[in-house]
Structure 1
């Protein structure tokens, strides 16, 4: 991989049965990403805490049920406490929260055996922030993940930015929950739309996230472009066929790389979630692979790098895109419905064989030694539960060999609208990535600079309450 290129990645994992299990899965994904030299990894909307697809919390116009209130209680208890406050208009503590400068009151408590005194320091939060920071620090991967965050008495659909060196450097709160999401998620402040910046191998990456249907808000998108971002992140719960065209539009419009991540959720989720990544089932599977000499599946799409740990029990759709952006579905199975790939000798369980993409923006992965699995920190001090609700399949009308509540569809798109990796359909274990040259964002602004010369900002003005739209630097 050329020094000027950065490896960006995404995946489509589903929320696990408990919050500690989901955090363990994040750790496992980050280690796999690190073993494949990934620099930045995006995970889906509401990944920690869960997306309550299909439920209405017992609400109809003018009436709420006791059962629905109990359901909301369970969902609230499953959300994570990152130690933030509600803040003005749902802004949270912003930079004070990032720098850990919020007031931490000492609380009076009954003396218990083992206590060092009758005052307990409120460290603000349940430990989830510290665990995520540990994962980023020990793997060296810049992490962005969706989560359901509680502050005060409200819930926010958030996305957090985790730098391996600096820890938590920022947080988004969704400013406009969609439709029935408004029942349970409060509106976040536009002040949280502030982009963050990091430098990887001398390359400055200015990144910001728009969550799910915020991507359909033209002024919100413009507020991100105006900050001179070159990496646009779109964690989502939308797995419809209309989503990828939107991501291509955003990439062309903002002349930035776009990474989208959506959970792949199996209809028999309870049974599948018992097979958590990094759990006993995976260890047993890896042992079987070593004994039989088999290898993990490589995605045959020439535009996709896919690191997957298990052979799927369903038939996955594989596709490529032609020069006009049309998706071409490829056969990927033999007569028995099994994906056939050649195992690559000398590759360990964590570094999986990939298919080389001969494009200017995406190159093949180099197998790397596995990163040792760090020991998990103490579990966060919440009840460790993840909300579960009835499910309604609104992401696909098609019947597949194994039905899905959400089919995923995570993808990576170039500033010119080319799909570099994905869409990752019906794969809840793989990681897809692309090696990108951020100077392509500048090349694209030769003829289209939405936040500059092309914006006609002498005629059109955009201001955002509480947000400084001053562009971030290039270097």
Structure 2
């Protein structure tokens, strides 16, 4: 049976509230479904927002009161998924954690909303989000399957630069790949957030799990991002989907811009993140070129949104997952090419063996062989 699947990357931006952003996610997903898309990736920190340009009133040895107010607003905008600060792993995924008396769920309902959108559209959704648990924020991402609901969640293990001020470090055990079957195609998906992709051992931990789709939601809009994605595709013999936001300065929350310097406010129309979302194949070839300075939200608001394409911020492509095996003729960095007799990688709390594939078909019996 052919192992072909239509996948997409949404270059979008966080809107003025969580509710508005969730509504946009639903609208984009519904449109993608109408185009035959079965798997859709949204950017890093899409739900909750990436606080670009904000310093939270900090300097070495000092915090300004307005910075604490900014953190309060950012915390309120974040998503509560009902997980624990340490991360409950499979217990959270499988809804084994206790709920409050009189309640039927943990969290603020975002998980349930995403599951409903995925179920109603038949689209597997992977999205970045800012997650709050206890008093800490985490840069996270969730995998939402149309049949099974949420099947996994990642927390960024190493926030980059000033991100460390407002985001906690996630557990490396969350690097666990997930498996599913979409449209008869078996998938093993891994996800690395933004500059986690520059961590060679982290990449290897995903390759070791035999991923055939590697998701890379990001906030990096530099020209140097595409070469990294091409390296990952060719290195891991995997398809790579990368999604970034596209944002102008005047589209930032007011709690950021109200405290900005006058020179920063001077040109509100300038892009502070230009996008650069792309799709790469398992030999490192560019399947969907990076798209710049365009946002799918803007096209969806127009009178004619039926012809949304990559130039409008929605990259759609049919891929053949068997290309991953074709590529491993000459290189498999987690198998025959790894020299695992000489080199060893261990990750605390993570099984690096390929996870068992989801199997829906009836197993062969001895009588049929």
TM-score between both structures, scaled by the size of structure 2: 0.87
- Any gaps of 5 or more consecutive residues in structure 2? 259-266, 297-312, 360-369
Distance (whole Å) between structure 1 residues aligned to residue 319 and residue 112 of structure 2: 30
Deviation at 1:200, TM superposition (A): 1.6
- Over aligned residue pairs, what C-alpha RMSD do you find? 1.7
Query: Aligned pairs, how many?
Result: 333
1:146 maps to which residue? 128
Question: Could you list the per-position Cα deviations for residues 295-318 of structure 1 after superposition, in whole angstroms to 9, with x for gaps in the alignment?
Answer: xxxxxxxxxxxxxxxxxxxxxxxx
Select the residue among 86, 92, 95 that pairs with 1:97.
Answer: 92
2:279 maps to which residue? 412
Distance (whole Å) between structure 2 residues aligned to residue 421 and residue 264 of structure 1: 17
TM-score between both structures, scaled by the size of structure 1: 0.68
Q: Answer yes or no: is the 8 Å Cα contact 2:70–2:255 preserved in 1.
A: no
Whether 1:170 aligns to 2:37 is: no
Distance (whole Å) between structure 2 residues aligned to residue 406 and residue 470 of structure 1: 37
1:49-68 correspondence runs (5 A): 49-68=48-67
- Any gaps of 5 or more consecutive residues in structure 1? 107-119, 271-385, 392-399
Q: Answer yes or no: is the 8 Å Cα contact 1:229–1:472 preserved in 2.
A: no
1:259-338 correspondence runs (5 A): 259-269=241-251
1:38 maps to which residue? 37
Question: Could you list the per-position Cα deviations for residues 279-301 of structure 1 after superposition, in whole angstroms to 9, with x for gaps in the alignment?
Answer: xxxxxxxxxxxxxxxxxxxxxxx
Q: Answer yes or no: is the 8 Å Cα contact 1:49–1:387 preserved in 2.
A: no
Q: Answer yes or no: is the 8 Å Cα contact 1:227–1:471 preserved in 2.
A: yes
Q: Answer yes or no: is the 8 Å Cα contact 1:45–1:159 preserved in 2.
A: yes
Distance (whole Å) between structure 2 residues aligned to residue 204 and residue 473 of structure 1: 11
Secondary structure of residue in 2 paired with 1:158: strand
Q: Answer yes or no: is the 8 Å Cα contact 1:50–1:387 preserved in 2.
A: no
- Cα distance change of structure 1 residues 387 and 131 upon mapping to structure 2, 3 Å threshold: farther
- Cα distance change of structure 1 residues 469 and 126 upon mapping to structure 2, 3 Å threshold: same
1:467 maps to which residue? 350
1:425 maps to which residue? 292
Deviation at 1:3, TM superposition (A): 4.8
Question: Could you list the per-position Cα deviations for residues 96-140 of structure 1 after superposition, in whole angstroms to 9, with x for gaps in the alignment?
Answer: 11111101232xxxxxxxxxxxxx437210111111111101010
Question: Could you list the per-position Cα deviations for residues 134-188 of structure 1 after superposition, in whole angstroms to 9, with x for gaps in the alignment?
Answer: 1101010000000000011110000000000101110000000000000000000
Whether 1:11 aligns to 2:6 is: no
- Cα distance change of structure 1 residues 15 and 56 upon mapping to structure 2, 3 Å threshold: same
Secondary structure of residue in 1 paired with 2:12: coil
1:353 maps to which residue? none
Deviation at 1:388, TM superposition (A): 4.9
Whether 1:441 aligns to 2:324 is: yes
2:205 maps to which residue? 223
Distance (whole Å) between structure 1 residues aligned to residue 353 and residue 233 of structure 2: 21
Deviation at 1:435, TM superposition (A): 0.6
- Cα distance change of structure 1 residues 135 and 388 upon mapping to structure 2, 3 Å threshold: farther
